[in-house]
């Protein structure tokens, strides 16, 4: 079991980074087609595990969840390079997905959102948690958190609206 960091902790990451959220709407009526639509055993988890093993990939870390997978990337260029790299599983899985959906009109629904995060323009706090999310991302570090979210953001040079 992962070590629990007792008390209130904050996570920091040097420089800008990207948060990429991706998810899927399951197809209860077509679970096998849904699994295939999302890449099967060579789906997102497989891709992310491979990228995690490669420090130069730009993937800093991810949190697998359902229906949302949260990914942390060093830059948009790293994310974009992964999505377009024909040596990776993603382009083939994406092409197959769109072919299947256009042919059958049913199956998995997919979505993603991309957030470009400027250095110091975020806050991440954890209470009595193991390293998680940004706190577990490659290059991230945890430190004791004090004060309020507004005070922590101000200290980092950000002014919440």
Q: 51 and 82: one domain?
A: yes
Q: Do residue 125 and residue 113 come from a single domain?
A: no
Q: What does the pLDDT read at residue 43? A: 75
Looking at the fold, whether 113 and 123 belong to one and the same domain comes out as: no
Residues 6 or more apart in contact with residue 155 via CB below 8 angstroms: 147
Residues 27 and 44 in one domain: yes
Six-digit token pair at 37?
């639509």
Give me the phi and psi of 159, to 5 degrees please: -125, 105
Q: What does the pLDDT read at residue 106?
A: 64
Same domain (yes/no): 71, 133: no
Same domain as 99, residue 49: yes
pTM assigned to the model: 0.86
Q: How many folded domains does the chain comprise?
A: 2
Question: Are 109 and 135 part of one and the same domain?
Answer: no
Spatial separation of the C-alpha atoms in residues 161 and 4, rounded to whole Å = 33
Which sign does the torsion angle of CA 84, 56, 142, 152 carry? negative
State which residues form the domain around 64. Answer: 17-117
**What pLDDT is attached to residue 29?**
78
Domain identity same for 38 and 112: yes
54 plus 129 within the same structural domain: no
47 and 70 housed in the same domain: yes
Same domain membership, residue 112 and residue 122: no
Of residues 68, 35, 65, 62, the one with CA closest to residue 49: 62
Per-residue pLDDT tens, the chain, 161 aa: give them.
Answer: 789 999 999 999 999 999 999 988 877 777 777 676 666 666 788 889 999 999 999 999 999 988 899 999 999 999 999 988 877 777 667 777 777 777 766 667 889 999 999 999 999 999 999 999 999 999 988 989 888 888 888 888 888 87
Q: Is 49 in the same domain as 35? A: yes
């Amino acid at each position: 079991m992962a070590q629990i960091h007792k008390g209130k902790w904050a996570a920091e990451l040097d420089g800008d980074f990207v948060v990429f959220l991706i998810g899927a709407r399951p197809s209860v009526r077509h679970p096998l087609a849904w699994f295939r639509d999302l890449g099967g055993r060579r789906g997102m988890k497989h891709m992310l595990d491979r990228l995690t093993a490669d420090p130069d990939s730009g993937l800093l870390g991810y949190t697998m969840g359902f229906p949302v997978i949260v990914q942390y990337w060093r830059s948009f260029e790293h994310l974009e390079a992964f999505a377009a790299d024909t040596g990776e599983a993603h382009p083939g899985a994406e092409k197959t997905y769109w072919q299947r959906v256009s042919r059958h009109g049913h199956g998995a629904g997919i979505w993603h959102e991309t957030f470009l995060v400027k250095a110091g323009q975020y806050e991440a706090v954890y209470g009595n948690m193991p390293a998680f999310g940004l706190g577990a991302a490659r290059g991230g570090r945890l430190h004791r958190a004090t004060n309020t979210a507004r005070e922590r953001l101000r200290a980092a040079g950000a002014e919440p609206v």
